[in-house]
Amino acid sequence: MAAQHFDPSREWAIERDKQDELASFRSQFYLKEGAIYLDGNSLGLLSKKAEQSLLALLDSWKEHGINGWTEGDEPWFFLSERLGKKMAPLVGASPEEVIVTGSTTTNLHQVVATFYQPAGNRTKILADELNFPSDIYVLQSQLRLRGYDPQEHLVRVKSRDGRLIEEEDIIAAMTDEIALVVLPSVYYRSGQILDMRRLTQEAHQRGILIGFDCCHSVGAMPHEFAEWDVDFAVWCNYKYLNAGPGGVASLYINRKHFHRLPGLTGWFSSRKDKQFDMEHQLTPAEDAGAYQMGTPHLLSIAPLIGSLELFAEAGIDRLREKSLQLTRYMMDLIDHELQGMGFTIGNPLEDKRRGGHVYLEHDEAIRICKALKENGVTPDFRAPNGIRLAPVALYNSFEDVWNAVQILKKIMKEEQYKKFKNTREVVA
């Protein structure tokens, strides 16, 4: 991407918005007047299409009752598979390799139960010390279930600076004791992107299976899972994909593993034409559908139907380009407007290494986040001293970014944050 011209004036931001070919998508979302929402990397906003698809599913229940499983515009029995096909272009996979099911944590339990097969000297799982805690809990749990001590058999790559993980350090830790590698695609604090293609190649050269938690990347940037030969991936759909709080998650299984029996099976693991035979011998689906377990949570899947329509219209490449422009603009404004106020930009500066949010560090991060909320800006605090700001390409504007930085500047100049307690809320 060519270098982006920087102009600190509000007029320049307004002009950029006029030239933005994705600007029309903003009207598809429920935005509060006078507020700036910059927390789409935690929970995306509701779109009108997602609302419509949820209401349509309620109508199908009202109209068809139990017959909704096989009747109506979106029969429920096949909905997870159909949405997997619609999701596949966002992650660079074939339609059969993606399924919408479960939550990130349950899906991670599923793939680790499947792909972690300790044998001989290979008994350890490789992760890192900056990963989201839920993923670490899963890996510890799976090790204990196999009779291994997580203290010994979960290897966590150290960060050199507390913000980033160097890929060379990950590769160096891929020893002949490692049976499985599980890493994030984008780090939830710093927004650092890992080179999934490179790490997959390095793992496979050593005979190690590898998968990724893509919660902070799917919907914000393109992926090419099939081309990169990733073994598996899991991700939620309520962040950049705007599927709603607790929205059903997704997983990817490389087609070369379709022959494997999933580690955790249930009746929705079945091949569709056999599911209601009620046999006690499972006939698993012959694709990623086999990695489902229980009945799909239809009211939590429904918003994704409408949301994916927006992504098909906008195009993930265009969304990524605008996302990078927005985060670059935000960082330039922060450098220009907030000098000497104690802020440090903790995310990678290079476009190719930066996900969809800006990560600021400040000793008063908790109190600053509270002051931002009082001023109509929704950020996200991450312990111990992080402020995440995510200008989302579908519904945030350049003027949003300009206004948010000016509000932050005013908060710091007037020391508004000092009136708040230095304790985080229950939900950061």
Binding residues, by number, are 104-105, 132-135, 213, 216, 238, 267, 295
Distances (CA, A) of 350 to 1, 130, 295, 347: 11, 20, 43, 9
Chain center to CA of 375: 27
User: What is d(CA 264, CA 107) in angstroms, rounded to the nearest whole number?
Assistant: 10
- SS3 category, 150: helix
**Pairwise CA distance, residues 89 & 93, whole Å:** 6
Amino acid at 23: A
Q: Which residue has the tokens 């991407």?
A: 1
The dihedral formed by the CA atoms of 7, 396, 323 and 219, expressed in degrees to the nearest 10: 180
The answer to whether residues 107 and 100 touch, using CB atoms and an 8 Å cutoff, is: no
Q: How many CA atoms lie within 13 A of 290 on its CB side?
A: 21
Sign of the Cα pseudo-torsion (18, 19, 25, 30, in order): negative
Q: How many residues does the chain have?
A: 428
Cα gap 316→69, rounded to integer Å: 31
Contact by Cβ (8 Å): 404, 389: yes
Kindly state the tokens that stand for 249.
Answer: 């998650």
Q: Is 218 helix (H, G, I), strand (E, B) or coil?
A: strand
Residue among 80, 105, 12 at smallest CA distance from 325: 12
Which positions make up the binding site for pyridoxal 5'-phosphate?
104-105, 132-135, 213, 216, 238, 267, 295
Helix (H) or strand (E) run with residue 184 in it: strand 178-184
Helix, strand, coil in percent for the chain, rounding step 5: 45, 15, 40
Q: Which distant-in-sequence residues (6+ apart) come within 8 Å of 129 by Cβ? A: 156, 157, 158, 159, 165
Please count the other Cβ atoms lying within 10 Å of the Cβ belonging to residue 335. Answer: 13
Cα separation, 341 vs 18, whole angstroms: 32
3-state secondary structure of 284: strand
Tokens of 183: 């890493």
